[in-house]
Chains A and B, each alone.
Chain A
Amino acid sequence: MVSIEDYGKFETAWCPGCGNFGILKAIKQALVNLGRSPHEVFIASGIGQSSKLPHYLKCNAFNGLHGRSLPPATGAKIANHEMTVLAVTGDGDCYGEGGNHFLHTVRRNPDITMIVHDNQIYGLTKGQASPTSEIGMKTKVQTHGVFNMPLNPLSLAISLDCSFVSRGYAGNISHLSKLIEKAIEHKGLSLVDVLQPCVSFNKLNTFKWYSERVYEMNESGYELNDRVRAFEKSLEWGDKIPLGVFYVNEKPSFEDYLDVLVQGPLYKNTPKTELVEELIDGFI
């Protein structure tokens, strides 16, 4: 039996009260509930406060470059598809610096769970606007207030026909951990966009602000594969902010197209180097 203790206890570099703690707790709980041992788990992360997360629990980890959590996660999944692969990233990391990888990883659809700590601000560089910052938010850089249209990660993902699209909230750990469980269990790319208050720099989207607005979706007749409905729901933002699974599209994952993986993980394959002789014959 795997327990929370197996995932260890670490000192962190996060601010007291940070939303990241809730996400960390939810991830650990989800992995324990699914019975995943630390050595079966691989987390790739980018750069940002969010991306330090793999250092704060026991698992295999590749904490790489800013915006680049998805390509190494994809590579690792291809090399060893038996691992549970998570990409832990932030709104700046994933939707800004790594926007292109986000688009194309959705298209590629590897069986990876993306957990985006979406605090609508750049925390590590001390408070500049992020791609999801609200219009009008003033910062030391956006001195006249943000006027670039905020990116809506859920609408974007649904428009790309992402395999699993969901939103959680760092202030509701039990809901979030269930969501992460579902996302990990889903085969294909799963997006968990997590509303995460930044207690140091985002004075607008606070715990209080979110708690007054978020609600768990529980609508009867909402078919999870209804893309148009999901898109409509993803546009809901303001006084009421929905949480939960927005869209599920069961489709083959990237690995399903790789016939070579049927016989086991790629890294364990003994390469058929002897066949090079046949190729050489073709040049004679």
Chain B
Amino acid sequence: MNIDLNLKIGGAAGQGLQTTGMALAKTLKKSGFHVFATQYYLSRVRGGHNTFQIRISDSPVFAMTETVDILLALDGESITQHMSELKEGVVVVDSDVIDVKENADSIFHVPMLKIAKDVCGDKIYSNSVSMGAVIGLLCLELSNLEFILKAAFKKKGDGVIQNNIDAARAGYNYVKENYPGGCKFEVSDPGKKEEMMLVNGNEAVGLGALAAGVQFLAAYPMTPSTGVMTYVAANADKFNVVVEQAEDEIAALNMILGASFAGARSMTTTSGGGFSLMTEALGLASITETPAVIFLCQRPGPATGLPTMTEQGDLQFVLNAAQGEFPRCILAPGTPEECFYLTTEAFNIADKYQIPVFVMSDQYLADSLFTCPRFDTSKVLVERHLLSDQELRTKKEEYKRYKLTPLGISPRALPGQEGVLVVADSDEHDEFGHINEDPVNRIKMNDKRMKKLEVLREEMPEAKVYGSSDASISLMGWGSTYGSLAEVVDILNDGGKSVNLVYFTHIHPIPVEPTKKLLAKAKKTVCVENNSTGQFSRLLKVDADINVTEHILRYDGKPFSPEFIIAALKEKGVI
């Protein structure tokens, strides 16, 4: 990694942080950099102190670091809070607008408001002035920013586009003329023009659902899951998907069960609080053996918790949600690529095993932007596992929705197909689906359902290993912590340590023997999780009898940075 720069934009909600941040992230990606961007925001529409951070590199980056090189301060609070994060950096601020108390060499005044008014006659263009200034400080050409601004303001007409470009150019020129030496960081265009995407976790899940052929999505909006719902809704007409905003999460999951039972590929999206309401219907999905994909985007709880922050606090809840014993599958992506591919896989598992399947993400992954290779749709298979009309015509016996089979999976017909009647029941039932309270039947049906879990366990891929397979220290993680952990492995190995990452995307059911094998060589195992109780290590203990030697846990609402993990490893004497 020759280039590694961090840009932080700070300001109040409503000041245009996201627009500015997105435009800059896209510009830097277009310039050939690998980009990682993440947001920190509060649960309010206006005001408060929020940040949008962009890290750029010539190598792939999947995590945020804690030092800042360029701080674009849109309010005074940004300087007060983040000045200490600067090492050799620069603070870009409009001192005409913001009362800057600090007096440091790093503070660079750009009269954004004045420039916007002088050049375009309107202060609303000051954000574009700031974008130009940032590109100037990085000594990059302005053309990519111009391209992005053109695309961003396409709908607003040529006049608005031209004003934004003029404003950006004026900001750019101001830096060239006034910053000592003309610019701050000389990061020449890395020149890599391979087809990379810039996408956030929620968009990637939405793309995955569309690629998997989702036909019906019912959900109740809840941060941070809503992005998937809105992404699918935005493309619903094009893809022939029906999206319905349910009256509550109870209705959402029950509705998709009705649709799925009748043959439509269906999913719901929610966060922990909403999922709490869905738990009753989760059991219904299982006893009626109706496929359901549940996208669960975690945020810290309990109850309303920290609505816009991140945590991996719902794993044990999802593992145990709803009364009784029944199989479920949990997948946890750590990158947008995994968001995409695992979502498509979730639909196939749900259809094959006729069980509820979770895609567990979290706020950090949902809202962060990553550059990644183009998703390969040729790898996506749509497997429905349904009986065709032809197969039904040639059947010899009366159709049994819950026919007992060696694998516990019954052939699935749909209501409305001629020649069959399909009956499902939330009560314990016989092979036809009719209520049956006989103890012998109960055991058969319970065994049938649980059998699917064991068959699925055999099919679940083992964890991935990042780094050498025979390292003496194994870091372990699941889901969104991947990026930071992988970077920690690189940093420590560069420093002469022997560390790898054993990283889980297929969380439950876990393949026991392969997992034990992966961890057999490590002298120390350190499980790193965004929760306070080590929920994943508990799962490993219960499911695979694996004991983890150390834990690094964070539960202040923020994601892990590589620095945080390394400091914790030192503190615990692991390194």
Contact = CB atoms under 8 A, between A and B. Distances in A.
Nearest to B386: A267
A284 B196 CA distance: 6
B262 A267 contact: yes
Interface string A245-284: 0000000000000111000011111111111110110011
Contacts of B563: none
B490 to A, nearest CB: 26
Contact of A280 (B207, B264, B414): B207
A80 B265 contact: no
Interface in A80-139: 80, 82-83, 100-101, 103-104, 108
A22 interface: no
Contact of A271 (B215, B284, B374): B215
Interface stretch (B308-316, B426-434, B496-504): B426-434
A165 B423 CA distance: 28
A60 B416 contact: yes
B354 to A, nearest CB: 14
Given A65-B280, A75-B262, A284-B195, A279 B416 contact: no
Interface centre among A77, A273, A275 (most CB of B within 10 A): A273
B259 interface: yes
Contacts of B421: 38-39, 58-61
A42 B415 CA distance: 7
A65 B239 contact: no
A266 B426 contact: no
B397 interface: no
B416 A63 contact: no
B266 A75 contact: yes
B29 to A, nearest CB: 9
Nearest to B261: A62
B262 A273 contact: no
Interface stretch (A66-74, A155-163, A227-235): A66-74
A186 B439 CA distance: 44
Interface residues of A, number: 57
A282 to B, nearest CB: 9
Given A79-B262, A79-B264, A273 B254 contact: no
A58 B266 CA distance: 27
Interface stretch (A47-55, A144-152, A174-182, A190-198): A47-55
B418 interface: yes
B197 interface: yes
A55 B434 contact: yes
B262 A80 contact: yes
B513 interface: no
B435 interface: yes
A52 B425 CA distance: 10
B410 to A, nearest CB: 16
A80 B263 contact: yes
B237 A72 contact: no
B501 to A, nearest CB: 27
Most interface-central of A40, A44, A52, A72 (chain B CB within 10 A): A72
Interface string B171-197: 000000000000000000000000111
Contacts of A65: 254, 280-281, 284, 426
B465 interface: no
A214 interface: no
Contact of A47 (B247, B423, B426): B426
Contacts of B235: 279
B305 interface: no
A199 B543 CA distance: 51
B255 interface: yes
14 contacts: A42-B415, A61-B425, A62-B288, A65-B254, A65-B280, A68-B280, A79-B216, A101-B251, A266-B215, A270-B213, A272-B240, A273-B210, A276-B375, A280-B197
A82 B247 CA distance: 25
A55 B435 contact: yes
- 5 closest cross-chain pairs (CB), A and B: A75-B258, A72-B258, A267-B263, A271-B213, A60-B415
A38 B418 CA distance: 9
Contacts of B288: 62, 64
Given A55-B434, A60-B422, A78-B259, 14 more contacts: A60-B416, A63-B424, A68-B250, A75-B261, A76-B262, A78-B216, A79-B258, A80-B262, A104-B251, A108-B244, A269-B215, A271-B213, A273-B382, A280-B377
Contacts of A271: 210, 213-215, 239-241, 265, 382
A265 B256 CA distance: 16
A104 B248 CA distance: 10
A274 to B, nearest CB: 8
Contacts of A279: 207, 210, 235
Interface string B275-318: 00000110010001000000000000000000000000000000
Contacts of A70: 251
Contacts of B435: 13, 52, 55, 63
